[in-house]
Every structure is written in C-alpha cells, then in structure tokens.
C-alpha cells in the first residue's frame, strides 16, 4: 500500500486525473498538428501531397515557436514537430528528386510515412524525450512532468505509438493494394489514439498505486527533490 505522507504526489495524480494526455491546444494549432496527414486524402498527386504536407508542418512548427515566445508553451521544439519536419521534408525531397520513380513512391508512401513516424517515436523515446512527455511538460511544467508515474505514461504510450505505426508500415508494404489491409491499418491507428487519449489514462487512474509501487525509490527521490511541489491545484 502507498502511504499518504510518503506518496502524497501519487495520491494527487490519481485524484485529480493529471495523467490525462493534455488536449488544451488552441483550435488552429490543434487542427494543424495532424493536418499533414489529411493532405494525402485531399490531394491525389503524391508529390504535391508531400509538398503540401511539408508546408503545413513548417507552418505548425513556426506557430509553435511563436507560442513559445508568447509564453504559452514550455517545450520547443516538440518531439512530434521535429519528427514531422524530418519525415515530410525527406519524403518531399525524394518525390521531387526522383520524378521517374513517382509510381513506386506513391505505392509505398503510406509505409514510408508510417515507418518514419515509428522510427521518430522510437528515437525520441531512446533519447529520453518521448513524444507524449512534450505535452505533459506544457501542461504541468518540467518538474511535475518528471514524476515517475507520469514518465511511465509517457514512455509506454510512445512505445505503443511506435508499435502501431511500425505495424501499419509493414502491413502497407506487404499488402499495399489490399482494401482489407487499409481498413485493418486504420483500425490499428484508431485503436492507438483511443488508447492514448481514453483507455490507458483511465486504466492508469484506476491502477495508479500499483504502477507507483514499481517506482518506490524513484518516487522517494522525486518527492525529496521537489518537496515544495504538490498536485493540489487542478490544471486546465
């Protein structure tokens, strides 16, 4: 069992649902964040689709920088912004540099995109900057987001997205002309987002003490390092 005095931070995380993945972005930035993926539904020419997606990514990156300068965000650049810039920038370059191979590029564009996202999520996690943590830092601050329970959430969700994107990339590469494969891939991604924003936060809320028991020493160190920090105030 977790005792209130030594595990006050854990109790507050559980009570106040601080484990939820932050979603309080302004409308425009919230739309732009995943808007690059929409370009492939709206534009049939893969070269133009990549170019449009890269333009949206750059715009979103610039807006994030502006929000950082205005004090609305703590983290810049966000890991997801960096991943999008690198992935879409690379694919845009390849589509323009090799026009004679545009059919091949189009055939495997989905696999290349999802594979790039999977690699980006994995690398960001490997370097201790999981994508989910960027959102936690902006909502809670660097110190609170470093709580072991919250780091657990950020790590596991980032690995889940890595597995989801990698699975979709492999399915797309093998069954690129199969409608059932496309449906199955969409279900995988939909399941990943529902898990990240709904199911897993709810699970952790109900099992916070069990998860915290895996990090007893780390939580002791965190509470000793930040004795002045509490989770008593609900953050919007």
Q: How far apart are CA 148 and CA 154, in angstroms?
A: 10
Q: How far apart are CA 146 and CA 159, in angstroms?
A: 18
Mean pLDDT of the chain: 77
Residue 12 sits at φ, ψ, to 5 deg, of -70, -40
The 10s digit of each residue's pLDDT in 100-151 is: 887 787 788 788 888 988 998 999 898 888 888 877 887 777 888 888 888 8
The whole-angstrom distance between residue 60's C-alpha and the CA centroid of its chain comes to: 15
Burial 93-131 (b: 16+ CB within 10 A, else e): ebbeeeeeebeebbbbbbbbbbbbbbbbbbebbeeebbb
3-class secondary-structure state, position 236: coil
Q: Is the pLDDT of residue 8 over 80?
A: no
State the chain's maximal CA–CA distance in angstroms.
Answer: 67
Q: Is the pLDDT of residue 223 over 80?
A: yes
| Residue 139, Cβ density class (10 Å: 0-12 exposed, 13-18 middle, ≥19 buried) | middle
Please give the model's pTM, rounded to 2 decimal places. 0.74
Overall average pLDDT of the 58-81 stretch: 78
Q: Is the pLDDT of residue 166 over 90?
A: yes
């Amino acid at each position: 069992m977790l005792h209130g005095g030594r595990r006050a931070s854990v109790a507050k995380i559980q009570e106040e649902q601080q484990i939820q993945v932050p979603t309080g972005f302004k409308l425009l930035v919230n739309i732009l964040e995943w808007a690059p993926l929409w370009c492939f539904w709206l534009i049939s020419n893969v070269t133009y689709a990549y170019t449009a997606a890269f333009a949206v990514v750059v715009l979103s990156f610039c807006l994030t920088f502006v929000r950082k300068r205005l004090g609305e965000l703590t983290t810049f650049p966000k890991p997801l912004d960096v991943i999008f810039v690198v992935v879409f920038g690379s694919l845009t370059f390849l589509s323009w540099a090799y026009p004679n191979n545009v059919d091949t590029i189009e055939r495997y564009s989905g696999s290349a995109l999802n594979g790039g996202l999977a690699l980006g999520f994995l690398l960001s996690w490997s370097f201790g900057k999981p994508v989910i943590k960027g959102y936690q830092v902006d909502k809670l601050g660097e110190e609170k987001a470093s709580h072991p329970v919250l780091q657990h959430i950020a790590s596991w969700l980032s690995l889940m997205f890595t597995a989801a994107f990698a699975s979709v990339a492999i399915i797309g590469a093998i069954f690129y002309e199969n409608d059932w494969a496309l449906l199955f891939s969409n279900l995988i991604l939909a399941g990943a987002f529902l898990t990240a924003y709904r199911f897993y936060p709810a699970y952790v809320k109900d099992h916070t003490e069990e998860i915290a028991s895996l990090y007893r020493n780390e939580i002791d160190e965190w509470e000793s390092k930040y004795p002045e920090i509490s989770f008593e105030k609900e953050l919007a």
